[in-house]
Structure 1
C-alpha cells in the first residue's frame, strides 16, 4: 500500500497514538486480572488435567495464530491492490497481490484443518482424564463424604459438566481465543494503517469491555443455577426409573408427570432467563461497532477528499472494523460458553477438592482375621445430624458364632453393621477385631475378611458368572458353583438356558427378589470371609429355602451378623442383640431374652399370633 510521508509521520508521531497504547495496556491488564478473579483456583484444579497435552495445545495455538495473522494481513493486501493496482490500472499488480491473497487463504485453510485435529485430540483427551479422575475421586470417598452429594448431582458432573468444559477447551483452541485476539489485532492494525481514523474504532472499546465484564459475572451466576436445576431434573428422572414398578402399581404416572413438569419448568425458566440476558450482548455490541463504522466512513470520505488518506486505507480500516464487528458478534456465544463452563468447573471442583476424608485401599499384610468382634461403648451420629443413631452399644461375638440383630425400623441395625467395614467411624467408643481397633487394620485386610450382603440386593449388568466372580475375581467355576449351592441358588441357575452364562439385566431386573438375594449371598460366600454380614438379606426367601440356607452355612467358619425380623431365624443364633431407638434393649440367647426382655416377648407373641391366624385361615 502506498503511504505518503505525512501519513507515515502521523503514524509514528501522532500524540494520540501513545495514549491509545497505554489505554489498551490498561484494559488488557484489567481483563487478565478479571480472568484470574473469575477462574482462580477452579482453573488450576480442573484445567490442570490439560497440562499433559501441552504440546498438542501449543501446536493448536500456533496454528490458530497463523490463521489470525492471515486474517489481519488480508485487509492490508486488499488496500495494496486498490491503491497500487486498481486505481492506477496496473493489472500486473492486481494479479500478483491476488496470488498472494490466494496463498495466504490456502495457508489459513491448512492451518485450520490441522488445528482442528490437535484441538480435538487435546480436548477429548482432557475430558477422558478429567472424567477418570472424577470417578477415582468418587470411589475414594468415605461414605460420609459420598452422602454429601446427591447421586443425580454426581451423574451431572460426570457427564454434562465435563462435556461443557471440554467443549470450551476445544472451541478456545479453534475460535474463542481468536475472536478477542482478532478484535484487538484489528484495532492495532487499524492504528498502523491510519491512526486518525482508527481513533473512531477505539471510542467504544472501554464501554464494551466494562459491559462484557458485567455480563460475564451475571452469566456465571445464572448458569450455575441452571446446572443445579439440571441436577434436580436428573434426580426426579432417576427416582422415577428406579421405582417404575411402584409407579405403575399405584397408577402414579400422572403425579410423576406433574412432578417432572414442575422441576423441568423451573429448569426452562432459569435457562430462558439466562439466555435472554445473554441475548442482550449481541445487539449492544453491534450497535456500538456500527456507530464506530459509520464514523469511520463519514470522516474517511472527508479525509480522502482532503488528501489526508487514500482510498485503500479507508477500505482497510473498514475491513478491520468489519472484522472487529464479526469478532464482537461472537462474544455473546463465548460468554455463554465460558459462563456455563465456569459454573461446571466449580461444581467439579467441589468433588475433586472435597474434604472429609478419603479411603485408600493400602496394601494389606495378608493377615486373615479370625473374626473375634467386639463393640465397646460405641455411639454414632451422622454428619450434620442433631440426634445420634447409636448410643453406648456393647457386645461381643466370638469367632464362628452367629449374632442375630433385631429391632424396629430406624433402630440403628444397618448403621451398626456399617461400622464394621469402616463405612463410617464411631463418634465415640471402639470396634475391635481380634482385639485390635478396626481403625488400625489395613483397609484391604479388613474388607477382604468381610462378606457383605446389603439390605437391597444389587446385581450388575453382565452374566451370573461375572456377578458371582465379583466377590473374588480369581475364583474358579467350581468355587462359584459351591457358593451357589450353599446359597440355595445353584439349581435355579442350572434351569436357565445359559446356566451361569445367563445375562443379568440392569440391577437384576429379570430375576425375582429371592433369586437376587441368594445370588448376593453366594457372591459374599465366594470370598470365604471371616465375617459374614447379612443385612435383612433373607426377607424374600420362603421358610423351607431359608432353613436350607442356614443349614448349609453351619459348616462356614465365618462369624455371622444377621439382621432379621423373623423370630425363627433369631432363635437359631448363638446370641440375639435387640435394639430399641439406637440402644441395647436386650442381649443374650433366645431363652434368656424370653425371660429378661419384655420387648422381645412382645415380638415373639405378635409373630406367634400372626402364624396362628395364617394357619387358621389355611
Structure 2
C-alpha cells in the first residue's frame, strides 16, 4: 500500500492543503463543546440572554468556518485521489503494453481489466478517506481526551474502562474479516472472466443453444462472489453495533457518575454536557479509525494486485539501440527452437529457412503443427529458446522491438478491428496515410467494392470488433491495414480463410504486383492458396517436414501429398 501511496507525490500541495484544512476543522469541532458549556453555565443557568446571543454568535461563526474547511478538504482530497487513480491507470496501461504474450497468458485479460478498474477504484476511495480521516481521527481522539480530562480527570476513568473493550472488539473483527478481502477480489476476477467470455462469445453460445448452461456458469460465479461478500459483511456488520453499544454504555456511565459529581458540587451541568460531547468525539474518532481498518485491508489487497502487475518484468526487453539494416526485406530463421513456458516438448524445433524480397514463402501443415507459433515469433510476441531470427540481416534480439515491428505488415489469423471509421482502421497501419494511399490499399485488398457500397464510404463507423461487417470484409480491411504501411516483410497468418475462391485468387494476383519488392510470408490451410508460392514449407509437429515448390513437394514429400490429395481433385493436382 505504501508503494502505491508514493504516487501521491505529484499532489503533495493538495495533500498539504487537506492537512491544514482538516486541522482547522478539527480545532473548530473541539472548541464548540467548551463554548456550549460556557453558554449553559453562564448564560442559560443565570438567565443572561445577551451572553447567550454573544456566545451563540461565536458558535455559529466557528461552525461556519469548520464547514467551509470540511468542504475545501473534501474537494482537495478528491482532486488528489482521482489524480492518483488516473496516473495509476495510465502507468498500468503503459506497463502492460510492454508485456509479451507470455505475461498476458500468465495474468489473464479479465484479471488485468479488473485490476485497472475495480482495484484502482478501491484505492481511490480509500485514499479519499485516508486523507481526511488519518488526519482527523488522531486529532479528534487526542484533542477529545485532553479536553475531557481538563473538564474532569476523575470522570475520565469511565473512558479508560471502555477503550480496551472497544479496541479489542475492533481487532477481533478485523482478524476474521481481512483474509476474506483477497478472496473477494479473486472471485470478482472469476465473475469478470465468465461475463467477458459470454459477451464476446455470444454468437457461439446462441448457435449451440448453450444459454442455460452459460447462465448457470455465470450464476455460480456470481453466487461465489455473493457468498464471500456476505461473509465479509456479516463479520464487519458486528463492528458498528458493538461500537454503538460501548459508546452508549459509556455515555450512561458518564451521566451516572457525572450526576453524582454535580450533586457533590464537583462539576457543573455545562461541563458535564461538554464532557459527553468530547466522549462522543473520542468514540467517533474510533469509529472513523475502524472504518479505515475496514477499507484499508481491502485496498491493500488491491494495491498488492496492482503492484504485481507493475513489478512484473516482461519476459524480454530491448537489448540494443536502433541498428542499420544489412539487407533489405529479408527474413531468416537460423536453427530456431521455441518452447512455451511449462511445456514438456518444444512447439518448434530446428527451423531454418531464408526468405528474400520478391519471393512468396508459404507455410502449410496440419492443425497444431506450429504455423501460427512460427509467425508469432517474428514480431517478437514470444522470445525464442535457441537459434536466431534475422529481419533485414539483423538479429531481432539486437534491435528494438519498435524497429523490428516497423518493418512488418502483419495480418493476424483473426481480423481485429477497432471502433472508429473504416479510414481510421486502415490508417492504423500508417497514421499519416493520405486518402489516395487508403484507396490504393483498399483496392489491392479487394475492399473497394464493399466500401463504396456503404452510405458513408470510408467514413462508415464500425461497431466494436467490426461486428457490423462480415468475416471476409473484416479480413480485407485487416489486409489493407498492412498494405498501406508498405513494409519490408508482409506476414499473412491464414488471412484469406474467410474469402471465397474468386476473391482469394484476385487478391493474390494483386498482391504479387504490390509486394514484388518485399518479402511475403504466407500461412494457409488451403493448398490452392500456396500452390503458386516460390517456396512452400511443410510443418509437422513443430518440425520442417519438407521445403520446395508445389511440384517438387508433390513428387518428394509424403506429408504435403496427403494434404494436397485431401483438398484437391485429380484435375487440379494434374
- TM-score for the superposition, normalised by structure 1: 0.88
Map of 1:258 onto structure 2? 216
Map of 1:572 onto structure 2? 532
Map of 1:481 onto structure 2? 439
In structure 2, relative to structure 1, the CA distance for the partners of 1:82 and 1:358 (3 Å cut) is farther
Matches within 5 A, 1:125-164: 125-164=83-122
The answer as to whether partners of 2:320 and 2:398 remain within 8 angstroms in 1 is no
Q: Alpha-carbon deviations, 1:175-216, whole Å to 9, x = none?
A: 564245423432232122222111211223234334434444
SS of 1:584's equivalent in the other structure is: strand
Indicate whether 1:434 and 2:384 are aligned: no
The answer as to whether partners of 2:323 and 2:399 remain within 8 angstroms in 1 is no
Matches within 5 A, 1:283-362: 283-331=241-289, 333-357=291-315
In structure 2, relative to structure 1, the CA distance for the partners of 1:395 and 1:358 (3 Å cut) is closer
Equivalent of 1:372, from 326, 330, 340? 330
Matches within 5 A, 1:18-417: 42-44=1-3, 46-175=4-133, 177-331=135-289, 333-357=291-315, 364=322, 370-417=328-375
In structure 2, relative to structure 1, the CA distance for the partners of 1:53 and 1:366 (3 Å cut) is farther
Structure 1 residue 595: Cα displacement: 2.4
In structure 2, relative to structure 1, the CA distance for the partners of 1:214 and 1:355 (3 Å cut) is farther
The answer as to whether partners of 1:220 and 1:343 remain within 8 angstroms in 2 is no
Indicate whether 1:467 and 2:411 are aligned: no
SS of 1:224's equivalent in the other structure is: helix
Q: Which runs of 5+ in 1 are unaligned?
A: 1-41, 613-618
RMSD over aligned Cα atoms: 2.2
In structure 2, relative to structure 1, the CA distance for the partners of 1:542 and 1:351 (3 Å cut) is same
SS of 2:380's equivalent in the other structure is: coil
Matches within 5 A, 1:596-615: 596-608=556-568
In structure 2, relative to structure 1, the CA distance for the partners of 1:149 and 1:167 (3 Å cut) is same
The answer as to whether partners of 1:575 and 1:588 remain within 8 angstroms in 2 is yes
Equivalent of 1:591, from 544, 551, 569? 551
CA–CA distance in 2 between the matches of 1:384 and 1:324?
57
Structure 1 residue 169: Cα displacement: 1.7
Map of 1:561 onto structure 2? 521
The answer as to whether partners of 1:368 and 1:445 remain within 8 angstroms in 2 is no
Q: Alpha-carbon deviations, 1:309-338, whole Å to 9, x = none?
A: 222222221111222333444455433322
Structure 1 residue 356: Cα displacement: 3.5
Q: Alpha-carbon deviations, 1:37-65, whole Å to 9, x = none?
A: xxxxx322x22221111111211221111
Q: Kindly tell me the number of residue pairs found equivalent between the two proteins.
A: 570
CA–CA distance in 2 between the matches of 1:192 and 1:354?
55
Map of 1:537 onto structure 2? 495
In structure 2, relative to structure 1, the CA distance for the partners of 1:289 and 1:387 (3 Å cut) is farther
In structure 2, relative to structure 1, the CA distance for the partners of 1:470 and 1:364 (3 Å cut) is farther
Of residues 284-293 and 509-518 in structure 1, the stretch that sits farther from structure 2 once superposed is 284-293
CA–CA distance in 2 between the matches of 1:321 and 1:204?
11
The answer as to whether partners of 2:319 and 2:397 remain within 8 angstroms in 1 is no
Structure 1 residue 480: Cα displacement: 0.9
CA–CA distance in 2 between the matches of 1:323 and 1:377?
75
Of residues 567-576 and 450-459 in structure 1, the stretch that sits farther from structure 2 once superposed is 567-576
In structure 2, relative to structure 1, the CA distance for the partners of 1:203 and 1:368 (3 Å cut) is farther
Structure 1 residue 269: Cα displacement: 0.4
The answer as to whether partners of 1:63 and 1:111 remain within 8 angstroms in 2 is yes
Q: Alpha-carbon deviations, 1:124-175, whole Å to 9, x = none?
A: 2122111111111111222222222111111111212112211222233345
Of residues 303-312 and 251-260 in structure 1, the stretch that sits farther from structure 2 once superposed is 303-312
SS of 1:164's equivalent in the other structure is: helix
Structure 1 residue 574: Cα displacement: 1.1
Structure 1 residue 611: Cα displacement: 9.5
Structure 1 residue 95: Cα displacement: 2.3
- TM-score for the superposition, normalised by structure 2: 0.94
SS of 1:458's equivalent in the other structure is: coil
The answer as to whether partners of 1:380 and 1:427 remain within 8 angstroms in 2 is yes
Structure 1 residue 287: Cα displacement: 2.4
CA–CA distance in 1 between the matches of 2:187 and 2:569?
51
Of residues 175-184 and 60-69 in structure 1, the stretch that sits farther from structure 2 once superposed is 175-184
Of residues 360-369 and 330-339 in structure 1, the stretch that sits farther from structure 2 once superposed is 360-369
SS of 2:353's equivalent in the other structure is: strand
The answer as to whether partners of 1:362 and 1:443 remain within 8 angstroms in 2 is no
Map of 1:32 onto structure 2? none
SS of 1:456's equivalent in the other structure is: coil
In structure 2, relative to structure 1, the CA distance for the partners of 1:315 and 1:449 (3 Å cut) is same
CA–CA distance in 2 between the matches of 1:609 and 1:336?
72
SS of 2:362's equivalent in the other structure is: strand
CA–CA distance in 2 between the matches of 1:428 and 1:217?
50
Q: Which runs of 5+ in 2 are unaligned?
A: none
The answer as to whether partners of 2:325 and 2:392 remain within 8 angstroms in 1 is no
Structure 1 residue 386: Cα displacement: 3.2
The answer as to whether partners of 1:401 and 1:574 remain within 8 angstroms in 2 is yes
